[in-house]
Amino acid sequence: METLRIMSVGRSGVGKSTIGNMLLFGKGEGAFATSTSSKSCTQDAKTLSSYTGDCIYIDVPGIPDTNPKNTAVFYDKIIKEAKKELNVLLFVFKREREDPAAYKLAEMLFRELNRSNAAKILVINDHNNYKFKKPPTEFDYEGQAKRISQLTKIDFTHTFILTAETMEEKLKQLKIILSKTKSYKSDDLKTFKELTQYVNYLRDKKNYEKEVIAQQNRVIDRIQRQLNHLQAVAAGAAAAATAATIASFFTFGATLGIATPTTMAAAAATTAIQIKKAELQKAKEKISTENLKKAAQELEKACEQFNELKKALDAM
């Protein structure tokens, strides 16, 4: 069995370390230091393996950090790890109101992470106490997921909801389900310096539509090859039979309940294929006639915001 390689991305205090401890050791406390505040617990990338070696979890510094001076340094540390073989990128957010201003200047950084070959899953970690207030509905979670996607421009294939009641069981099942995904390197991800050069090039040429088309065609070709490989080795009908089960798993509060090893194996194979199909669809949608102009405008805007970020950092 291949080792499952997971990297988590998110601001400090959102629960990345707790999730890592749970995935590796089955409990919220462990080798990863945890924090509930926005003060960064993780200054450097930290990689740990489960006792059996079946899972590796990389906890990286959060962006955007509360200290803007850390942005470029933390970003490069994240990119260094994201270039390596990974199955999954978990983007972890708390169940709270988003801060658009905090993510605005970092949009180009997230756009670069979106180019990773790994699967990209949004995790909304909700550990709020709803004893004396009404808990969020599925519609509420979906609304937050949509806002996060708009802020970060990440093409999430799935949204994964964690609560205090479901975290242990859902992460246990998620680990099994993701075990059939493939790990991929992302050697072409740009460092902060390389991103600066790229942005300057785009602003000079001003042909954003052409760049979007070129980028997405490369992405489509890559994903199609990965999908073909997964389908060739999949369990076929047995895997397809679990599609509805998997769809309910990646939603508000749902778990797989009592699942047999056969069911879980089929579910894992199905998930790997579903993730790639979702990635392929999103990539094609970006260069459709109705979306291309918008995608080009968003790229141009992200370049402008990156320049603002660069100027702010240079002035510090």
Highest mean pLDDT among 167-176, 183-192, 254-263, 268-277: 183-192
The answer to whether residues 12 and 35 touch, using CB atoms and an 8 Å cutoff, is yes
| Per-residue pLDDT, 273 | 82
The arithmetic mean of pLDDT across residues 34-60, rounded, is 77
| Per-residue pLDDT, 38 | 46
Least confident of 33-37, 52-56, 189-193, 229-233: 33-37
| Per-residue pLDDT, 214 | 94
The CATH number covering residue 9 comes to 3.40.50.300
Q: CA 122 → CA 10, 17, 102, 253, 307, distances in Å?
A: 10, 16, 18, 14, 27
Cα within 13 Å of Cα(237), Cβ side: 0
Do 136 and 20 belong together in one domain? Answer: yes
Do 135 and 238 belong together in one domain? Answer: no
The answer to whether residues 10 and 35 touch, using CB atoms and an 8 Å cutoff, is no
The greatest distance separating any two alpha carbons of the chain, rounded to the nearest whole angstrom, comes to 59
- Asked if residue 239 has pLDDT above 60, the reply is no
The residue ranking higher by pLDDT, 123 or 177, is: 123
Do 124 and 204 belong together in one domain? Answer: no
The percent of the chain in helix, strand and coil, each rounded to the nearest 5, is 55, 10, 35
| Per-residue pLDDT, 261 | 58
Do 136 and 216 belong together in one domain? Answer: no
Do 171 and 200 belong together in one domain? Answer: no
187 occurs within a structural domain: no
Q: pLDDT tier at 262 (50, 70, 90 boundaries)?
A: low
207 occurs within a structural domain: yes
The residue ranking higher by pLDDT, 272 or 78, is: 78
Strand partners, 7: 58, 89
At 136-160, the pLDDT tens digits run: 988 999 999 999 999 898 999 889 9
Domain count, the chain: 2
The residue ranking higher by pLDDT, 67 or 79, is: 79
296 occurs within a structural domain: yes
| Per-residue pLDDT, 210 | 94
Do 57 and 124 belong together in one domain? Answer: yes
- Asked if residue 30 has pLDDT above 70, the reply is no
Angle between helices 289-314 and 71-82 (to 10 degrees): 130
Q: pLDDT tier at 131 (50, 70, 90 boundaries)?
A: confident
185 occurs within a structural domain: no
Do 69 and 26 belong together in one domain? Answer: yes
Q: Which residues constitute the domain of residue 94? A: 4-180
250 occurs within a structural domain: yes
Per-residue tokens: 120: 């990209």
Angle at 16 between CA 23 and CA 45, to 5 degrees: 100
CA dihedral (216, 82, 182, 15) in degrees, to 10, reads -110
Q: Which of 140, 157, 180 is the last residue of a domain?
A: 180
| DSSP-assigned letters across all residues of 150-199 | HHH----SEEEEEETTTHHHHHHHHHHHGGGSPPB--TT---HHHHHHHH
| Per-residue pLDDT, 103 | 82
Least confident of 30-39, 98-107, 279-288: 30-39
**Closest to 85 (Cα-Cα) out of 117, 110, 61:** 117
Strand partners, 88: 6, 119
- Asked if residue 236 has pLDDT above 60, the reply is no
The answer to whether residues 71 and 106 touch, using CB atoms and an 8 Å cutoff, is yes
Q: Which of 157, 180, 203 is the last residue of a domain?
A: 180
CB proximity list for 255: less than 8 A, separation 6 or greater: 166, 169, 170, 173, 249
At 194-219, the pLDDT tens digits run: 999 999 999 998 999 999 999 999 99
With H, G, I as helix, E, B as strand and everything else as coil, classify residue 46. strand
Do 113 and 247 belong together in one domain? Answer: no
Q: How far apart are the C-alpha atoms of 306 and 57, rounded to whole Å?
A: 29
Do 37 and 165 belong together in one domain? Answer: yes
Do 165 and 196 belong together in one domain? Answer: no
The arithmetic mean of pLDDT across residues 215-244, rounded, is 74
Do 14 and 153 belong together in one domain? Answer: yes
Quote the percentage of the chain above a pLDDT of 90: 44
Do 13 and 158 belong together in one domain? Answer: yes
CA dihedral (242, 248, 250, 253) in degrees, to 10, reads -140
| Per-residue pLDDT, 61 | 85
20 occurs within a structural domain: yes
Q: pLDDT tier at 307 (50, 70, 90 boundaries)?
A: very high
| DSSP-assigned letters across all residues of 237-272 | HHHHTTHHHHHHHTSTT----S--HHHHHHHHHHHH
Lookup result for tokens 């778990």? 255
| Per-residue pLDDT, 237 | 43
291 occurs within a structural domain: yes
| Per-residue pLDDT, 67 | 78
Q: How far apart are the C-alpha atoms of 236 and 247, rounded to whole Å?
A: 17
- Asked if residue 245 has pLDDT above 70, the reply is no
Q: Which of 160, 180, 200 is the last residue of a domain?
A: 180
At 3-21, the pLDDT tens digits run: 999 999 988 888 898 899 9
